[in-house]
Structure 1
Amino acid sequence: MDSGTWAEITRHIGRALGQPFAIDRQRSLGGGAANTSHRIEGQNRAFFVKLGSLAESDRFATEALALRELHRTHTLKVPEAICWGTSDRVSYLVMDFLELGGAPAGGPQLLGEQLAAMHRHTSDRFGWELNNTIGASPQQNSWSDDWVSFFRDQRLGFQLRLARRNGYRGAWLEEAERLGDRLSAFFRDYQPEPSVLHGDLWSGNYGYDRDGNPTIFDPALYYGDREADLAMTELFGGFPAQFYRSYNDAYPLDAGYAQRKVLYNLYHLLNHLNIFGSGYMGQVQRSVSQCLGFLS
């Protein structure tokens, strides 16, 4: 990247901080052909900078606004979004750099307690003011008063339509579409509140800072059933047992969660199928069959 772009980013950081800023040290943290990340330091402060094409500008903006939405809950620590924008042929997002360390004693318990506190921050509707992304896929967040229709149309249905566009066919897809027509059966005795969600809460998107504080990052935020966040934590290996005990002590889960978590994780498995390919087909098919089995 040319020096002019870094000069523009430096000026933007200074405007955001309300004082002049100069880069003393800069280090590339890697990335692919389209996106790179960097650590910059100056005035005894370190920042994490994401750089991408101009096409990434909306994605960076929604990530920044999601971080600010989570920060306003005053629960779990999130990196502060400093500034974002475009310069020449690139877009950028500047955040505080989080120095992560190992899990301290009691860390998983505190993570569970603080996530439960975060989930108590609610909206009057499901969705969010902005559409964003889940991994590399678009994520629709149009406001809705009804959780079942929101999840059917903007989560499960969206991924199934995307799977068809990607060329997937077969009985499993037709069964999944029929499942969408029967979603209300999972909610006969359960009415979720629109809790603020991280939206993509797997083990790669949380950690602990050097003071032992749990922190979350890379959100796919929206307001939805808090069980959807908990379900995601169980999808790829799970979080420590202490996390689940402390969360449930602070904000007990409904008994129907054991079934609904399979339904919620079907959304993420379909997303992985659409992004990464047929290696996720077996898990998707098993999840569809399991969900239908709950209804038989």
Structure 2
Amino acid sequence: MHSGLRLDLVAADGPLAGTKITDVSSVGGGCIHQAWQLRLSDGRQLFAKTGTADAFDLFEVEADALTALGQYSDSDVLVVPQPLSLVQLPHGAVLLLPWLPLGGGDQQFLGRGLALLHQASREQNPQRFGWHRDGYIGAGAQPGGWRMRWGDAFADLRLRPQLKLCNRLGMSPAEEEAFLNGVADRLNQREVIPTLVHGDLWGGNASSLMDGRGTVYDPASWWADAEVDLAMTRLFGGFQQHFYRSYDAVLPPKPGVEERLEIYNLYHLLNHANLFGGGYINQSRACLQGLARQMMS
């Protein structure tokens, strides 16, 4: 951690005023920003995410989503770390969160906790799909906005912006528009209750604690179909059968889920193609073409 930023944190007007940082350890896993474990003179341990001044907006979006998820999580089974401080300091932006002791192996509580979060949020849903502000999916832009129908929301707010950025997939504008209309029509045929989702639920953004409870972090939340979270857990692996069995015991899967998972994961493939290029472009192209053929059948 930059020495100037460390001094900013404990300054008289800093978020850790009145205490001292006795130890700072780098925490691996961050793709965009730096992460640290802080040990304080009062015995506390904190997680700090730091970045340059322009990272403040990303941290603000993350803090907003963590707060929203925390409103619906049952902390007996799923811990969503709640923001302690979000500050713009002279030497950079900082988001402070509780330190979570990771290390539990069984994902039973993680699956049950996610299902209970989804279930609880449905009971107070906003009767529409989307999010109240522009956000991020990793380092990529994730537009805000609202739609009354689920298919329109997913096509307009998620797939369309990504397809607009990625022009190397071999489809003409007319073909892309026909595909988006097909996706919207297919998803609009379902009765979907708006559900608060994590939105970026790959294995690096979920874990189990030493006491067995699950935890999720680094969200890209919005009100969507709960299945978008389950879809991403399948994209890169890292989730056990215990996770799925525990989730399904609370919210059993609905017919046609496998087909929808492929549609939902196209969003993440396109985002990765736009951010990283490489093999993700070919994966996106293959997924897009396969789904387009399904829409025509």
TM over 0.5: yes
Determine the structure 1 residue equivalent to 2:15: 13
Contact preservation (8 Å) 2:29, 2:204: no
For residues 86 and 102 of structure 1, do their structure 2 counterparts lie closer, same or farther at Cα, with a shift above 3 Å needed? same
Q: 1:149 aligns with which of 143, 146, 152?
A: 152
Q: RMSD over aligned Cα, in angstroms? A: 2.3
Describe the superposition over 1:169-218 as per-residue Cα deviations: whole angstroms up to 9, x where unpaired: 52387644421011234236421111111000011111111111111111
2:198 corresponds to: 198
5 Å-filtered alignment, 1:92-241, equals: 92-103=94-105, 107-120=106-119, 121-122=121-122, 123-124=125-126, 125-164=128-167, 168=168, 170-171=170-171, 175-187=175-187, 189-237=189-237, 239-241=239-241
1:266 paired to 2:242: no
After TM superposition, give the deviation of residue 145 of structure 1 in Å.
1.7
8 Å CA contact retained: 1:67, 1:80? yes
Residues 289/248 of structure 1: CA separation in 2 closer, same or farther (3 Å cut): same
Normalised TM-score (structure 1): 0.88
Residues 221-256 of structure 1: per-residue CA shift (max 9 Å, x gap): 111110111100111125212221221221112112
2-structure distance, mates of 1:91, 1:50: 8
Once residues 132 and 69 of structure 1 are traced to their aligned partners in structure 2, the CA distance between those partners, rounded to angstroms, is 14
Matched residue, 1:66: 65
- Equivalents in 2 of 1:33, 1:237: separation in Å? 18
| Aligned residue number for residue 281 of structure 2 | 281
Report if aligned partners of 1:206, 1:215 keep a CA contact under 8 Å in 2: yes
Equivalent residues in 2 for 1:38-49 (5 A)? 38-42=36-40, 43-49=42-48
From 70, 91, 94, the equivalent of 2:93 is 91
**Do the aligned partners of 1:67 and 1:78 also contact (CA within 8 Å) in 2?**
yes
Q: Distance in 2 between matches of 1:188 and 1:140?
A: 20
Structure 1 residue 22 displacement after superposition: 2.4
- Relative to structure 1, is the Cα distance of residues 34 and 198 closer, same or farther in structure 2, using a 3 angstrom cutoff? closer
Deviation at 1:9, TM superposition (A): 2.0
Higher mean C-alpha displacement, 36-45 vs 199-208? 36-45
Corresponding residue for 2:79? Answer: 77
Q: How does 1:30-45 map to 2 (within 5 A)?
A: 35-42=33-40, 43-45=42-44
Q: Name the TM-score, length of structure 2 as normaliser.
A: 0.88
Change (3 A) 1:188 1:31: closer
Seen in structure 2, the aligned counterparts of structure 1 residues 169 and 101 have a Cα distance that, compared at 3 Å, is closer
Gaps of 5+ in 1: none
The amino acid that maps onto 1:72 is Q
Q: Is the 8 A contact 1:47 1:94 kept in 2?
A: yes
| 1:31 to partner: Cα distance | 8.3
In 2, Cα distance between equivalents of 1:32 and 1:188 = 36
Change (3 A) 1:142 1:33: closer
Fraction of identical pairs, as percent: 36
Deviations 1:29-74 (Å, cap 9, x if unpaired)?
3689973222111112111111111111110111112111111113
- Residue deviations 1:74-127, cap 9 Å, x none? 322122211011111411111111121141xxx322222111111111322212
